[in-house]
């Protein structure tokens, strides 16, 4: 089920009413309800893949329990291996099987060996990369003895399948989310109101920003060989806002929805386009995935310890794997690798944490000239990388970039409307003013009638740009 669908508009209030009015008295019943509605939510897309969710949940629940009962290192390692094999095996098959086959055939072809193979028509189950990583965090934390396994199977199933973040994150850690299923939750008015506001803001970003950018972006990328410098630049800029609006919009709706049910999910985006360097960008973009890779891959690899070469190797590995996580295409690998290359100079000069913990132009209305330059150059680097992310293949991305700097014509691209930029500007102003807040629609210290006028206008904009059946980009990852 899509958040931006009429089905969800009926689903959410119904679940809310059942949750707080019918199942409130019993925590287990409340969690069971969440499991049932989450499976319904997921099954609305394709009920057959519920089986994968069940397999993943059952396996990690029992592995976690068994692992905690033993101190035998060998046995613990074996159980951890089984969990990794099941989760990554399922993910690998559904997401990467054809990629590896095709890449192998291509590689053999370069050595003059022609192979006749046929790819299998595999449907990628929505959200598989997200819930697989979420449940893996559970067994890894138990293996590391950082988490005690839950005895309550319903809580665990609810943790794995919690519908607001099931299909596109944020990827929650078991240590953060699971305890929330195990203690009584009470309704918090302020939290629910702010959650509702965040949902509205998420819809604005998805429908008004992302979906209206998508039309132009598709037209430019699908016909990039005939486009001028300006059109190609506009296509790349609009894609950067499309993917931001789409994914951060989804995260806002997910976090806001979870808050209606008394849950706190982690912040997944923190105004990344105001980042002053690429390190800061990655601390603000898809935070739940970046921190997952940091904790479960980068640090075990050695992190920032060891020789300069080791550090560089680790950075390249983490970014490349992160790119590969997004999809079975070399474009994502190159995108990740490129971001790794961007990061290395910062690391070599010890500047990677230079802007950590601070907010740009803190306490001021506007940034300084130096900050503008830093934000601008970081943004420019990200849009070059986004071209790889959006292109159909690596060759196309290089051609696109090449034409951007050689085909000096300045005609506007197809379907470019000034209003798209106006709405992007509006979003950036809101986010700039709220850059110290967890989302761009806190609207603190604003008179109530102004706030309601903003709600009304936002709703009208959402209505205007609403298109049936516009899916989210990250559903494909």
Partner 1 sequence: MAFIEKEKIEYELSVEGERVQLRKYLLRMLAFIAMVLVIGFVSVFIPDLGNKEHMLYALRDKHAALDSLSGNGPKVILVGGSNLAFGMDSKMVSEELGMPVVNMAVHAALGLKFMLDDSRPFVEKGDIVVIVPEYPHFYDTYPSTFYGADELLTVVLDVLPGEVSYISAKQWTHLYRYLPKYIGNKYYGLVKFRNGRKFTGKGAAYRRATYNKFGDNEGHLDMKSYPAVVPPHVDHDVDQDVVDYLNDYQAFCESKEAKTFFSYTVIQDTGFYRTIKHIEKLEPKLEEELNMPILAPASKLRLPERLFFDSQEHLNKEGRELRTKMFIEDLKKKLDRE
3-state DSSP of the chain = CCCCCHHHHHHHHHHHHHHHHHCCCCHHHHHHHHHHHHHHHHHHHHHHHHHHHHHHHHHHHHHHHHHHHCCCHHHHHHHHHHHHHHHHHHHHHHHHHHHHHHHHHHHHHHCCCCCCCCCCCCCCCCCHHHHHHHHHHHHHHHHCCCCCCCCCHHHHHHHHHCHHHHCCCCCCCHHHHHHHHHCCCCCCHHHHHHHHHHHHHHHHHHHHHHHHHHHHHHHHHHCHHHCCHHHHHHHHHHHHHHHHHHHHHHHHHHHHHHHHCCCCCCCCCCCHHHCCCHHHHHHHCCHHHHHHHHHHHHHHHCCCCCCHHHHHHHHHHHHHHHHHHHCCCHHHHHHHHHHHHHHHHHHHCCCCCCCCCCCCCCCCCCCCHHHHHHHHHHHHHHHHHHHHHHCCCHHHHHHHHHHHHHCCCCCCCCCCCHHHHHHHHHHHHHHHHCCCCCCCCCCCCCCHHHHHHHHHHHHHHHHHHCCCCCCCHHHHC
380 forms part of the interface with partner 1 (CB under 8 A): no
462 forms part of the interface with partner 1 (CB under 8 A): yes
Q: Can you say how many angstroms the Cα of residue 467 is from the centroid of all Cα atoms in its chain?
A: 22
241 vs 233: CA distance, rounded Å: 13
Contact region for partner 1 (CB under 8 A) — 68-76, 369-377, 431-439, 464-472?
A: 464-472
Q: What is the largest CA-CA distance in the chain?
A: 72
465 forms part of the interface with partner 1 (CB under 8 A): yes
Contact region for partner 1 (CB under 8 A) — 72-80, 82-90, 174-182, 451-459?
A: 451-459
Our CB check for partner 1 shows the closer of 8 and 99 to be: 8
Our CB check for partner 1 shows the closer of 45 and 398 to be: 45
Q: How far is the CB of 33 from partner 1 (least distance, A)?
A: 16
123 forms part of the interface with partner 1 (CB under 8 A): no
58 vs 56: CA distance, rounded Å: 6
187 forms part of the interface with partner 1 (CB under 8 A): yes
Binding mask 130-169 for partner 1 (x = CB under 8 A): ----------------------------------------
388 vs 330: CA distance, rounded Å: 9
462 vs 350: CA distance, rounded Å: 44
Q: How far is the CB of 261 from partner 1 (least distance, A)?
A: 12
Among 102, 106, 188, 436, binds partner 1 (CB under 8 A): 188
Our CB check for partner 1 shows the closer of 305 and 464 to be: 464
Our CB check for partner 1 shows the closer of 226 and 368 to be: 226
Binding mask 322-351 for partner 1 (x = CB under 8 A): ------------------------------
Binding mask 386-425 for partner 1 (x = CB under 8 A): ---------------------------------x------
Among 10, 93, 380, 466, binds partner 1 (CB under 8 A): 466
Q: How far is the CB of 214 from partner 1 (least distance, A)?
A: 14
Residues 191-220 that bind partner 1 (CB under 8 A): 192-193, 196
Contact region for partner 1 (CB under 8 A) — 113-121, 187-195, 300-308, 426-434?
A: 187-195
Per rule CB under 8 A, count of chain residues that contact partner 1: 25
Our CB check for partner 1 shows the closer of 66 and 196 to be: 196
461 forms part of the interface with partner 1 (CB under 8 A): yes
Catalytic pick from 95, 283, 326, 439?
A: 326
10 forms part of the interface with partner 1 (CB under 8 A): no
Specify whether 326 is catalytic.
Answer: yes
368 vs 370: CA distance, rounded Å: 5
Our CB check for partner 1 shows the closer of 4 and 352 to be: 4
467 forms part of the interface with partner 1 (CB under 8 A): yes
Our CB check for partner 1 shows the closer of 74 and 447 to be: 447
Q: How far is the CB of 464 from partner 1 (least distance, A)?
A: 3
- What residue ranges bind partner 1 (CB under 8 A)? 6, 20-21, 186-189, 192-193, 196, 419, 452, 455-456, 459-469
Task: Report, as residue numbers or ranges, the catalytic residues.
Answer: 326
């Amino acid at each position: 089920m899509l958040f931006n669908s009429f089905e969800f508009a009926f689903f959410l209030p119904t679940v809310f009413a059942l949750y707080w009015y019918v199942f409130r008295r019993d925590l287990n019943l409340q969690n069971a309800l969440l499991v049932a509605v989450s499976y319904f939510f997921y099954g609305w897309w394709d009920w057959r893949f519920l089986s994968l969710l069940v397999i993943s949940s059952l396996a990690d629940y029992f592995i976690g329990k068994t692992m905690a009962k033993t101190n035998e290192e060998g046995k613990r390692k074996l159980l951890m291996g089984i969990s990794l094999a099941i989760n990554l095996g399922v993910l690998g098959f559904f997401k990467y099987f054809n990629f590896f086959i095709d890449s192998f055939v291509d590689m053999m072809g370069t050595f003059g060996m022609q192979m006749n193979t046929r790819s299998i028509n595999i449907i990628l189950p929505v959200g598989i990369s997200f819930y697989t990583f979420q449940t893996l965090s559970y067994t890894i934390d138990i293996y590391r003895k950082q988490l005690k396994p839950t005895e309550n199977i319903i809580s665990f199933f609810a943790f794995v399948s919690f519908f607001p973040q099931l299909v596109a994150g944020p990827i929650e850690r078991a240590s953060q989310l699971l305890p929330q299923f195990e203690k009584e939750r009470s309704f918090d008015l302020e939290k629910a109101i702010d959650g509702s506001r965040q949902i509205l803001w998420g819809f604005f970003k998805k429908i008004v920003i992302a979906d209206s950018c998508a039309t132009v972006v598709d037209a430019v990328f699908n016909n990039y060989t005939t486009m001028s410098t300006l059109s190609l630049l506009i296509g790349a800029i609009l894609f950067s806002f499309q993917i931001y609006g789409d994914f951060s919009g989804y995260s806002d709706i997910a976090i806001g929805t979870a808050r209606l049910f008394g849950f706190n999910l982690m912040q997944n985006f923190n105004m990344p386009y105001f980042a002053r360097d690429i390190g800061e960008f990655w601390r603000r973009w898809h935070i739940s995935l970046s921190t997952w890779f940091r904790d479960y891959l980068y640090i075990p690899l050695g992190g920032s310890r060891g020789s300069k070469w080791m550090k560089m190797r680790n950075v390249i590995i983490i970014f490349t794997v992160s790119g590969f996580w997004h999809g079975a295409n070399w474009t994502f690998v190159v995108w990740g690798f490129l971001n790794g290359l961007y990061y290395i100079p910062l690391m070599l000069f010890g500047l990677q944490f230079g802007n950590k913990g601070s907010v740009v132009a803190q306490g001021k209305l506007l940034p300084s000239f130096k900050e503008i330059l830093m934000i601008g150059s970081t943004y420019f680097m990200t849009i070059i990388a986004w071209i790889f992310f959006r292109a159909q293949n690596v060759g196309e991305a290089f051609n696109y970039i090449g034409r951007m700097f050689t085909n000096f014509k300045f005609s506007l691209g197809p379907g470019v409307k000034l209003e798209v930029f106006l709405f992007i500007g509006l979003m950036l102003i809101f986010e700039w003013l709220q850059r110290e807040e967890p989302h761009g629609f806190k609207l603190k210290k604003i008179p109530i009638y102004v706030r309601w006028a903003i709600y009304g206008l936002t709703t009208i904009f959402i209505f205007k740009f609403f298109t049936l059946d516009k899916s989210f980009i990250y559903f494909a990852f």
